[in-house]
Structure 1
Amino acid sequence: MTPGSEPIAHGGALSEAMARYGGTASEWLDLSTGISPFTLPLPELTLNSWRRLPEQAEVLQVCELAMQHYGGSVMPVAVPGTQAAIQLLPWLTPDARKVAIVSPTFAEYEQSYHRMNISVEPIRTLEAAAGTGADAVVLVNPNNPDGRETPRDDVFGFARAHRRKLVIIDEAFADMRQDLSMAGAAGMEPNLVVLRSFGKFFGLAGLRLGFVFAQPCLAAIVNERIGPWAVSGPALAIATHAFSRIDLVEELRRKIEIANAMTRSALNKACVPIVGETALFFYCEVGDGAAVREALASHKVLVRAFDHSPSRIRIGLAPDELSAVRLRETLRLAGARAS
């Protein structure tokens, strides 16, 4: 295989787990992703949403609502999931020879740049990118999978001090931490690009929708590369509904906060140390992540383990009290089996 062509394992591979351990989807507690277990009531979609190609006016309406929702200062580009935007990022710096990525983090960034034969240098902090000679820098904030946060002032200061570097900020998990968001600065700072994911907070990852905030010349490159009708009519209709209902958004926030507290309590009672977190997942020290993941899977509880951090696992939110109790008790069993 050529560099960057190897498939990357991600969370959410429930069918693979069922093939190995059996059971139906309803029997499994899938906590392997950072996707909210809740969503808002969906609108009734018209037949035209499915039948017609999306109108440009519909796209512009959603982008304007997204700008308001995320606190942007420019109209974003709507993309069919932020993964699609990640695939296009190397085209924003076509002459780049090196990119620095604050790591460990979401592995698709490294894959995307390797695919374009651009050298990747993993770094531990944003500040470390200053001495790398990198043409672009990637920061996931809050980070996946460890929840590490970089204050907004630090990001803003770095972007201003290094105008010749493209600074890409992935804010897929920032919906509950708007104080970290740089969406309002993207477009004003010419070297700043901010990605926002719709599906994680709204619990609609299958919808495939995201937004790219950037200055017009960079946004134009994304638009050109993504092509016409990139976002489906149903996705636009659902996003319009979601962004227009502040009451439903606030209800989602409350549900996530409650689920976060229940999951934290389950981990604490199971004596599992939390070493990192966001509102949508916990990063835990378990000694042998792969063994604990397998032990949990044998009880039909799915979590995520990592090659780069073999002693840790990531656990998503238990959606209700019964699931939290199941997680707690299964972790106790898994810890005994993995020790």
Structure 2
Amino acid sequence: MFRLQDILRPHILTLTPYSSARDEYTGKEGVFLDANENPYGSAGKSGPNEHTYNRYPDPYQWAIKERLAPLKGVRPSQIFLGNGSDEPIDLLVRATCTPGKDSILILPPTYGMYEVSASVNDVAIIKVPLKPDYQLDLPAVLEAIQPSTKLLFVCSPNNPTGNLIERETILTLLNAFRGLVIVDEAYIDFAETESMTALLDQYPNLVVLQTFSKAWGLAALRLGMCFASEELIQILNKIKPPYNISAPTQELALEALNHVGDKDKMVTEVLEQRTDLHQKLLASSLVRRIHHSDANFLLVQFDDPKAIFDYLIEHQVIVRDRSRVTRCEGCLRITVGTEAENEHLMDILKQYAETVTTTF
């Protein structure tokens, strides 16, 4: 049976969190003389009709959570908002893993920040590579879990491979593992599947990460979503910085939530372009294989990825070279662009192919 208190670092349970001015008074009206703020406004924005940022923001972002909850089918108290998804990843490691003693388990090739956060916190990293089909090797994972393993990260759709991890396999892990199973769904809007958030009340050891950076088109805001049990969200709120999400970010996120239709339209267009780009790349003599994608990018295997990558960079077409990553040998990761951007990519690849043909 999973109990959160069994995997938390003992002192976290009794830690006294920082109490901010906005914790002690949550009202919106009044004469605010409690937080040592500048009462005259903001530099460059001191006019009577200008929006200023001299007051600290809501430390728990309740307005966003209340709007977001019905969209995600969760309760506001099951949501943590962070500075990108990287903040909750780091907080989860710090809340559960004792430095020099505990471990996390990751499934390479996968998102690199799981390993970075563990390394920064002096936490051991157990690696169980995905199978050649990029699915989770369940027997190997279960065998690799140690008594010290507190967190297991599953990226689905996976970055950089693009595919969903089989749902039944994740459910098996949730039932078998006595730590937290963290399912990173940064690309879930581009996949034809239901989010794991629907299972939060069924599995207290499930954590789901999402982001405003991809489908919502708000990467510059650095706003990540973490969905978990109310008990775990309380712990994350306890150890986070007091005002981790700025007022401008909160305002812009709220505005975006008024335009869900815009987000859906962009997702539809990305999916249409993903299909079109897949077909065009498949017809190229340079391409050996295109891996199935449930995300907004394609992992493409080329005969000479380094030369192609360099040629694209030379022509200011920027992709990611993943050819030295485990299980991604020979591959470049190509984000799906607009129709014009994708056509430009194909034109440059055609030029490269003609150059190679001429040379030989």
TM-score, length basis structure 2: 0.74
Q: 2:89 aligns with which of 86, 90, 94?
A: 86
**Alpha carbons of structure 1 residues 270 and 158: separation in structure 2 relative to 1, 3 Å:** same
Structure 1 residue aligned with 2:63, among 42, 61, 64? 61
* Residue type of the alignment partner of 2:227: F
Write the distance in 2 (CA, Å) between the matches of 1:130 and 1:290: 36
Task: Please tell me whether the aligned partners of residues 211 and 223 of structure 2 are also in contact (alpha carbons under 8 angstroms).
Answer: yes
1:230 to 1:325, Cα distance in 2 relative to 1, 3 A: same
Unpaired runs of 5+ residues, structure 2, are: 1-48, 131-135
The SS at the match of 1:201 is coil
In the alignment, does 2:340 pair up with 1:326? no
- Structure 1 residues 231 and 138, CA gap change in structure 2 (3 angstroms): same
5 Å matches for 1:42-191?
47-48=50-51, 50-55=53-58, 59-73=61-75, 75-95=78-98, 97-123=102-128, 124=130, 125=136, 127=138, 128-134=140-146, 135=149, 136-162=151-177, 164-177=178-191, 179-186=193-200, 188-191=202-205
Distance 1:53 1:171 in 2: 30
Q: How many residues align?
A: 291
Distance 1:152 1:86 in 2: 21
For 1:253-264, what aligned pairs fall within 5 Å after superposition?
Answer: 253-264=267-278
Measured in 1, the distance between the counterparts of 2:273 and 2:352 equals 22
Instruction: Report which of the two structures shows the higher radius of gyration computed on alpha carbons.
Output: 2
Paired position in structure 1 for 2:232: 218
**Per-residue deviation, 1:147:** 1.2
Give per-residue Cα distances to partners, 1:89-118, cap 9 Å, x unaligned: 212322462221111111111111122222
Give CA deviations for 1:129-172 in whole Å, capped at 9, x if unaligned.
2111242211100000001211333322320232x121111110
Q: What is the letter of the counterpart of residue 75 of structure 1?
A: Q
Note the C-alpha offset of 1:175: 1.4
1:242-284 Cα deviation digits (max 9, x unpaired): 2233322322222222322332233133243312323310000
Q: What's the counterpart of residue 290 of structure 2?
A: 274
Relative to structure 1, is the Cα distance of residues 291 and 246 closer, same or farther in structure 2, using a 3 angstrom cutoff? Answer: same
Given that 1:64 and 1:75 are in contact with CA atoms closer than 8 Å, whether structure 2 keeps it comes out as no
Structure 2 match to 1:14? none
One-letter amino acid of the counterpart of residue 334, structure 2: I
Seen in structure 2, the aligned counterparts of structure 1 residues 281 and 112 have a Cα distance that, compared at 3 Å, is same
Q: Distance in 2 between matches of 1:156 and 1:119?
A: 25
1:82 CA displacement: 0.6
- Deviation per CA, 1:59-83, whole angstroms, max 9, x where unpaired? 1121122222233355301111112
For the residues of structure 2 that align with 1:56 and 1:243, how far apart are their CA atoms? 19
With over 3 angstroms needed to count, the CA separation of the structure-2 counterparts of 1:78 and 1:207, relative to structure 1, is same
Distance 1:289 1:236, change over 3 A: same
Task: Verify the 8 A CA contact 1:188 1:215 in the aligned structure 2.
Answer: no
The higher relative CO (CA closer than 8 Å, separation ≥ 6) is in: 1
What amino acid maps onto 1:219 in structure 2? I
Structure 1, unpaired ranges of 5+: 1-45
Contact 1:126 1:139 in 2 (8 A): no
Amino acid at match of 1:150: I
How far apart in 1 are the matches of 2:55 and 2:280? 47
Where does residue 217 of structure 2 map in the other structure?
203
Aligned residues with identical type, % of pairs:
25
1:72–1:185 CA contact under 8 A, matched in 2:
no
- Matched-pair contact (CA < 8 Å) for 1:54–1:229: yes
Provide the alpha-carbon RMSD of the alignment.
2.4
- Which of 318, 341, 351 is matched with 1:302 structurally? 318
CA 1:282/1:110 → structure 2, altered by over 3 Å: closer, same or farther? same
- Partners of 2:308 and 2:318 in 1: CA distance: 10
Deviation larger for 285-294 or 270-279: 270-279
- Could you say which residue in structure 1 is the equivalent of 2:332? 313
Q: When the two structures are superposed, what TM-score results if normalisation uses the length of structure 1?
A: 0.78
